Amino acid sequence: MSEILLQIKNIRKWFNSQEKELMVIDGVSFDVREGEFISILGPSGCGKTTLLRIIAGLEKQDEGEILLRGKSITGPGQDRSMVFQDYALFPWRTVLGNVLFGLEIRKIPKVEALEKAKKFIKLVGLEGFENSYPHELSGGMRQRVAIARALVCEPEILLMDEPLSALDAQTRNVMQSELVRIWQETRKTIIYVTHNIEEAVYLADRIAVLSRRPAKLLDLVEVELERPRNRFSKEFIELRARIFNLIQG
């Protein structure tokens, strides 16, 4: 079994709403193993994106701590990259330009940066589209660019916030398969937020199931199904139903 990479310890978070304190996350704790694909699953608005942003260092928790290799996360870092729901691509940059951006910020030498960018563009299946602009790409292709841009800086953890939710069902299924392939090739630790139970069961090694707000950890479910996973198998359907009933309470 892989070693523990990330420890999420008793995280609590409140927001101020109309002069009231609203608890969003209530004492969530779990570990993430190195090289694991783990999904954070819960109803819409339960606080799972807030938890992901705390892991990313983009927000602060009110109680608890998150340790990466034993060191407390206090802000953003090069050891974590995030893929957002809305792609967040620069429309004036080509596919290659978008993927190069993080390497330019880090002042990676041009020849090395180009080599790395092209490697990850190929990894996500966009070889031949290096000079295309975001408006010329489909939604699935734009999300591939966002994934390549996040991976090219070689973070320890890839954080993904419902990255496929804007896609149609057919494209979403294709991209789920592509994500599994990319993960298997890179063995990157992935923390993936979704409210789609089928998606979590298809993708993840384990699923951290959160309750309705304020989010509590209902269960940490092991998905012991061989890949590629059959969405119509008895085992898949039974696990999906078990998690549905867990969330419904």
CA distance 215 to 11: 10
State the total domains in the chain: 2
Q: How is residue 218 written in tokens? A: 């209902």
pLDDT at 148 (0 to 100): 97
Assign residue 34 the CATH number of its domain.
Answer: 3.40.50.300
Residue 98 pLDDT: 97
Q: What is the largest CA-CA distance in the chain?
A: 55
Contact 152, 117 (CB under 8 A): yes
- Residue at which a domain ends, from 154, 178, 204: 154
For residues 62 and 141, state if they share a domain.
no
* CB crowding 91-108: b at 16 or more within 10 Å, else e: eebbbbbbbbbbbeeeeb
Q: Are residues 135 and 60 in the same domain?
A: no
Tell me the average confidence (pLDDT) per consecutive run of 10 residues in the chain, 249 residues long: 92 84 94 98 93 96 96 95 89 97 94 97 96 95 95 96 92 96 97 97 98 96 96 98 93
- 162 in the same domain as 62: yes
Tell me how far apart the alpha carbons of residues 98 and 105 are, in angstroms, rounded to a whole number.
12
pTM of this structure: 0.95
Say if residue 43 is in the same domain as residue 18.
Answer: yes
**Residue 190 included in any domain:** yes
The separation between CA 85 and the C-alpha centre of its own chain, rounded to angstroms, equals: 10
Residues 121 and 239 in one domain: no
Res 166: pLDDT: 86
Range of the domain at 95: 89-154
| pLDDT value of position 86 | 83
Pair 69, 19 in one domain: yes
Interatomic CA distance for residues 198 and 200, integer angstroms: 5
Report the C-alpha gap between 98 and 107 in whole angstroms. 15
Residue 121 lies in a domain: yes
Rounded Cα–Cα distance for residues 66 and 73 (Å): 6
* pLDDT given at position 21: 84
Of the chain, the percentage scoring pLDDT greater than 90 comes to 91
- Give domain status of residue 193, yes or no: yes
Q: How many angstroms separate the CA atoms of 94 and 129, rounded?
A: 9
**What pLDDT sits at residue 1?**
66
Tokens encoding 77 = 């870092």
Q: Among the three residues 115, 139, 154, which one is the final residue of a domain in this structure?
A: 154
